[in-house]
A and B are shown apart, each in its own frame.
Chain A
């Protein structure tokens, strides 16, 4: 395909600021991380080298595999839960709320917390889940349990709960976007043809919602896989994911080792994203 030369010139001129920012703060940092991942480190400093020690150590350690496994587990469970909740909420807003004003209002209610601090939203779970928190005291007074549950806070449970709490937004918005674009006459046609509610949902709505689901999936998977704050806050250092592994190494000034882990994490994330992008054309679906 041949493109007019003027398009290319104007295009790059307009995209120049964007390109500069991404070149300096995205591409260069990635190159730097790749370079440093081959460096060596003493207790206090790092020195340029070209050695594979960091990678050898990384792949030779059973901790790495366990932590990567744990990261995938978090990502998949969060994905399933956010998809279930997100689709249900979006479906309700798109097909059961009848006026546009209410649709906008209720959608705003779902999105406002996204613009507030994640860290505060994590802290907010403490009075709920703590040993003497609301959940425990309610269950105790109802007689469901006779001593406080210890696994509510600082556990895998609280990590997953927070992931779902923070990331369902990223499922609701793209799915709602695709659902609102579905031509209502398609659903009427299916109903006239004798399809039941579940059949319409499965054979008409779900296939048409696929692009939104894919975009939501990309967001949720990459955010959970790259996270380290949620796990740091909500697990009480009981469990780890790859992000935690990196931030621990950074804390110990072991930058080369942190860089090697980062390279592996980045490759993993990009492979997942590339796979998902084959299933959806993001630019067309926005």
Chain B
């Protein structure tokens, strides 16, 4: 193996420092969440215990975090499914240039770049002025979609940019209808990237704060609940909750990655029937 240039070692060090910068703080609160009962928000550790996790499970100590958590998960799933379906349809629509598609494209860019607080304020104002109650599953749901859909669509654009159209043509030459081509050729090919869209949809919703701030109504989602805690909870309970929700996010990411790997492996195994004769 050829020797590495010196620049490799410089850049590798830089990379490691960046990763440390990226993960250091999260790991720190992970450690500090196991503080002993007498410990504070920073080092030194005064013993090791599950005290603060225990506190978290006592309802009266810190508001309604379990209710908030379940709402966040339900909302995340709603946003995830909607994002996948709407993004795929949108992605298919944009494969051909149609009248007005440019305007729609610039709306997507606007949706991506508009300051989150404006969505929150605008949606909140519409609901309050028309006499509707804001609720996480209506106004909150819609407000979050303005953030997850652009990401979903950008992924779909990237996917279809790399899509080999000859597969479709082959299917059509064999007499497949449009729907059959979509169902049996296009969707299976783009399938693994839909897991990516789903991951974006769920986690961006699960962690979203600014767009839900004025649109969630009287029942908080988890980020709003955590935000409330930061102003009045000054104990490692905050770290325990932070660690727990980070671990949850990591589990979701892990599951998605496992699905992608599985899908790729299946495709590698069953992708070609060349040489297997007539079926």
Instruction: Give A residues with C-beta under 8 Å from B.
Output: 3, 7-8, 10-19, 21-22, 24-30, 32-33, 36, 85, 88-89, 91-93, 96, 106, 108-110, 112-113, 115-121, 123-128, 130, 132-134, 137, 165, 168, 197, 218, 222, 225-229, 233, 243, 246-247, 250, 255, 258-259, 262, 265-266, 269-270, 273, 277, 282-284, 286
In this assembly, does B23 line the interface, its C-beta being within 8 Å of a C-beta of chain A? yes
Q: Is the interface of A mostly helix, strand, loop or mixed?
A: helix
Most buried by B among A15, A93, A246, A265: A15
**Distance in angstroms between the alpha carbons of A136 and B156 in the assembled complex:** 46
**Which A residue's beta carbon lies closest to that of B101?**
A11
**Distance in angstroms between the alpha carbons of A222 and B41 in the assembled complex:** 33
A17: chain B residues within 8 A (beta carbon): 85-86, 89-90
CB pair B21 A165 closer than 8 Å: yes
In this assembly, does B209 line the interface, its C-beta being within 8 Å of a C-beta of chain A? yes
CB pair B100 A12 closer than 8 Å: yes
Q: Is the interface of B mostly helix, strand, loop or mixed?
A: helix
Most buried by B among A29, A246, A259: A29
CB pair A109 B19 closer than 8 Å: yes
Instruction: Give B residues with C-beta under 8 Å from A.
Output: 4, 7-8, 11-12, 14-15, 18-19, 21-26, 28-29, 32, 41-43, 85-87, 89-90, 92-94, 96-101, 104-105, 107-119, 121-123, 125-126, 129, 142-143, 145-146, 149, 153-154, 157-158, 161, 199, 203, 206-207, 209-210, 213-214, 223, 226-227, 230, 238-239, 242, 245-246, 249-250, 252-253, 257
A229: chain B residues within 8 A (beta carbon): 209-210, 227
Beyond contacts A10-B98, A22-B108: 16 other A-B pairs, Cβ-Cβ < 8 A, are A27-B107, A30-B118, A109-B22, A115-B253, A117-B249, A120-B246, A121-B25, A121-B26, A127-B28, A132-B42, A134-B43, A226-B118, A243-B115, A250-B121, A259-B121, A262-B115
Q: How far is the CB of B24 from chain A (nearest CB, A)?
A: 7
CB pair B15 A246 closer than 8 Å: no
Q: Please pick, from A14, A85, A273, the residue contacting B89 in the complex, using a CB distance under 8 A.
A: A14
